[in-house]
Structure 1
């Protein structure tokens, strides 16, 4: 047990444990599979489409449900790949560790660097989406003010440790599901009572006369942001009661549940606004206007609920995930030592947490300028590229190299990850040229940093502490 978790960050409810042989601090295992499902669902947000469904509907030509379905399929195959690797490497480094050991340290570092791109900027994106939701109803308060207030709150909660985070997450998840249920109930009532302007139709799901593959994949690349959070579960492997089975099971359950919810709310939204004109008019907050058709109070409730979900709970989970990842990489020697500092009383990686807060403070103003959709796609560059690499690692390590593993079969080690890699790559390519430029620059910076850090400054990355 100690060998599995040595050197990993402790954000758990228990106290930190010391490995005598290595002098590394690691956490007590306290998180159940249910806790992981709650954490993952909060990070992904059951009501996440509220913020971007108008944009997805506009780009997909009125078929957001199909976009969420395609993204779900890609994520399911990737979740299966996670399930193959977690038992071999139950570590908070996740894909970074898998690529490092199955391919090479250099490849692993670049993968970890791309993971940092995803997780480091996610809180700022969530804060901006939350602020936009509130700004529609309180235009007198600048967007950046809401962002800064939320950032201060989540930083304070994160510094208290995962015990506080899990409690907040469970309360938040319950509240979000109640709001979602209200939207479904009153949305259906509105469609039934207003046949002149709204109706249930198969074209709200798929309209062959308007379908365009290029536009659809562009929509999928945007709505993928609602799914990619399931990978954050693996950053908490060190704290799982069942580190070899819990994360993989939790990820598949999360993707299936939320995929169904995302498609259902997308379908109902298009039934309430068949022409899509309301959402097209305001792609940042068009959904709330559609919800308001069933009652102005419902639109306000959805906006406030989503603002709290994204501004507090999802961004908090994002801060926890990136802090854990950077702590692990710093402990391995791949990042500066200050990111590997741990508060022994709260078991929080203080250096990584505070660094994340400062970076996101700057990113808030950058993303206000470029817009939330572009920012979301930049985050997806990091997520989709690492998910693509995860599938490649499974094919290489379990398929081609033939690592002995009792769960290894042709379809699990070759066919499924191959399909996952292809679908993920197609979505990845659809992100757009501007996003690709930013992503490639980030990747090149990571390669240069790695070469300077290891070759020029002669730092050595010790990955043995992260091996199962």
Structure 2
């Protein structure tokens, strides 16, 4: 078989469905929304709004969130259809293998590895900052253990970021039943605390903080272009609904539960993001919000230290649930790639006792803990958006393909507005990629080149599809 035919050979959906029978279907639509909100809200509300408002969009950050939600909403509908039609582990990676061919699936998987691992690593450093604020009256982490590797500043490892990743992975190692209960409770607590911030903050909004609503463009920031740049950055805040699709192989009645979980997550998150963005920039002038913990900072600034303490606890809970979702999803992604032989096959095994991909979880944990403990936050976030947007693009256009496949029956959710909305979703995602910084695009290109080298030298040789042809 020619090399071109080999790398574009498509996996059969039935093979994935049979392989994933080792995993136990225990998740409901409610659990999926908890997973999604646990990821989405934990990241965006407590870390990004301040820095993006201060450096890109000003008070118009709420427009950035609305535009991001619009594009994500289209992509969410596409994910909902594909997860309903193909309830398998691996999310866009597995969809790519079935719809486009193995090499495209690999590229998407390589992009998603970037997304999941860097997202958790970045949030683990945010969690560390909030934790340090919480315990500061009682204890201060030694400087050497308080930040990413930077000898000139006296920091060598962010030990708290490392430890929280290890704790979450330990929790997940017991199986979904345990982590699911913790996740659901924390999500309810987090939403209650977010509502508290909104209610308290409304009394401290100053109209002059919101003017000009769209600051004049200066020094490469703000203006209409700043809103668009902010939009591409706050995609990081919406990470979560796409990760929900990675759990499809462990969902009861996926044809109904998957669409409800994905779309429900995005609707709830969008409403809360816009409200928090408005209140935050109304309380404190956007130029003062470039801090690691903007929500707690804003409340402290207006003298509401009691509320700030509660929000800090909520932030810790929110980021904790985000990391639970993304570590879980990342381990399922690595399991899926190992299952297909594109990474070492021992990563694609399932523990007979816990019914979990234990080896994949261990590897994901080691990588995330290393990144979160050693690499500065500002080196991580934009690359996450590149992985997300690339997956959005292929998933969106995948609707055009799946509708023509007679071997893939979908009696569940179908994206409306076919074929216009899927094409529009893909086009929006491509446009958002063009709004990323050149340094991000260059770094991403290097990452994909490395990925293709790995695929051509290892993956193609060990591929389950390739082995079947011998």
Q: Indicate the TM-score class for this superposition, using the shorter chain for normalisation.
A: 0.7 to 0.9
Instruction: Give how far 1:442 is off.
Output: 1.2
2:128 aligned with 1:116, yes or no? no
Match for residue 177 of structure 2?
A: 163
Distance 1:57 1:202, change over 3 A: closer
Distance 1:384 1:47, change over 3 A: closer
Matches of 1:53 and 1:382, distance apart in 2: 21
Distance 1:189 1:83, change over 3 A: same
Query: 1:190-209 counterparts in 2 under 5 A?
Result: 190-191=204-205, 198-199=206-207, 206-207=213-214
Instruction: Give how far 1:411 is off.
Output: 5.6
Match for residue 153 of structure 2?
A: none
Match for residue 18 of structure 1?
A: none
TM-score (norm 1): 0.85
Match for residue 230 of structure 2?
A: 219
TM-score (norm 2): 0.84
Determine if contact 2:255/2:413 at 8 Å carries over to the other structure: no
My pick for the range that moved more, 210-219 or 149-158, is 210-219
Structure 1 gap ranges (5+): 9-24, 192-197
Alignment counterpart, residue 297 of structure 1, candidates 269, 283, 306: 306
Instruction: Give SS of 2:427's match.
Output: helix
Query: 1:220-299 counterparts in 2 under 5 A?
Result: 220-273=231-284, 275-279=285-289, 282-292=290-300, 293=302, 295-299=304-308
Alignment counterpart, residue 313 of structure 1, candidates 294, 316, 321: 321
Instruction: Give SS of 2:171's match.
Output: helix
Determine if contact 2:57/2:215 at 8 Å carries over to the other structure: no
Matches of 1:128 and 1:46, distance apart in 2: 13
Distance 1:463 1:48, change over 3 A: farther
Instruction: Give how far 1:299 is off.
Output: 2.0
In angstroms, what is the RMSD of aligned CA positions?
2.9
Instruction: Give SS of 2:191's match.
Output: helix
Matches of 1:4 and 1:46, distance apart in 2: 32
Distance 1:317 1:72, change over 3 A: same
Match for residue 339 of structure 2?
A: 331
Instruction: Give how far 1:400 is off.
Output: 11
Instruction: Give SS of 1:461's match.
Output: helix
Alignment counterpart, residue 154 of structure 1, candidates 150, 168, 181: 168
Instruction: Give how far 1:112 is off.
Output: 1.4
Distance 1:134 1:409, change over 3 A: closer
Distance 1:409 1:171, change over 3 A: closer
Alignment counterpart, residue 461 of structure 1, candidates 458, 462, 465: 465
Distance 1:366 1:418, change over 3 A: farther
Match for residue 439 of structure 2?
A: 434
State how many pairs are aligned: 433
Match for residue 7 of structure 1?
A: 19
2:43 aligned with 1:50, yes or no? no
